[in-house]
């Protein structure tokens, strides 16, 4: 993996084709963090949600989530992101689905 910022097709863009958020995190990074620090049904808090990657991944991993974001353009990005279901691939890496 190696990258802490999102690039490529995953990167969300605005109407002009520019990156919507300067520090958007990759789904794979949040997947690793959430899987190793929580169990299904736990609540994940993201106090600076940005484009909502944490909540988006938490939801796909059967976690509850609370996101806080004050910037309207990012809230619209979160709404756009959640309009599509995220499918998590567990075969790419050998990660336990849940921690004990």
| Mean pLDDT score of the chain | 88
Residue 93 in this model has a pLDDT that exceeds 90: no
54-68 tens-digit pLDDT: 999 999 999 999 999
**Structural domain boundaries of the chain?**
8-82
Architecture of domain 8-82: 3-Layer(aba) Sandwich (3.40)
- Asked if the model's pLDDT at residue 91 lies above 70, the reply is no
Contacts 24+ apart (CB under 8 A), 75-84: 77/12, 77/20, 77/21, 77/51, 77/52, 78/49, 78/51, 78/52, 80/12, 81/12, 81/51, 81/52, 81/53, 81/56, 82/52, 82/55, 82/56
The model's confidence at residue 90, banded by pLDDT at 50, 70 and 90, is: confident
Higher local confidence (pLDDT), 72 or 100? 72
Tens of pLDDT, residues 5-24: 888 888 999 999 999 999 99
């Amino acid at each position: 993996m190696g990258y802490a910022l999102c690039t490529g097709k995953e990167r969300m863009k605005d109407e002009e084709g520019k990156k919507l958020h300067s520090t958007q995190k990759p789904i794979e990074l949040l997947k690793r963090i959430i899987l190793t620090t929580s169990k299904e049904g736990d609540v994940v808090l993201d106090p600076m949600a940005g484009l909502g990657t944490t909540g988006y991944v938490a939801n796909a991993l059967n976690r509850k989530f609370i996101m806080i974001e004050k910037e309207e353009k990012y809230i619209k990005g979160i709404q756009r992101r959640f309009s599509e279901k995220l499918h998590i691939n567990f075969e790419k890496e050998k990660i336990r689905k849940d921690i004990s």
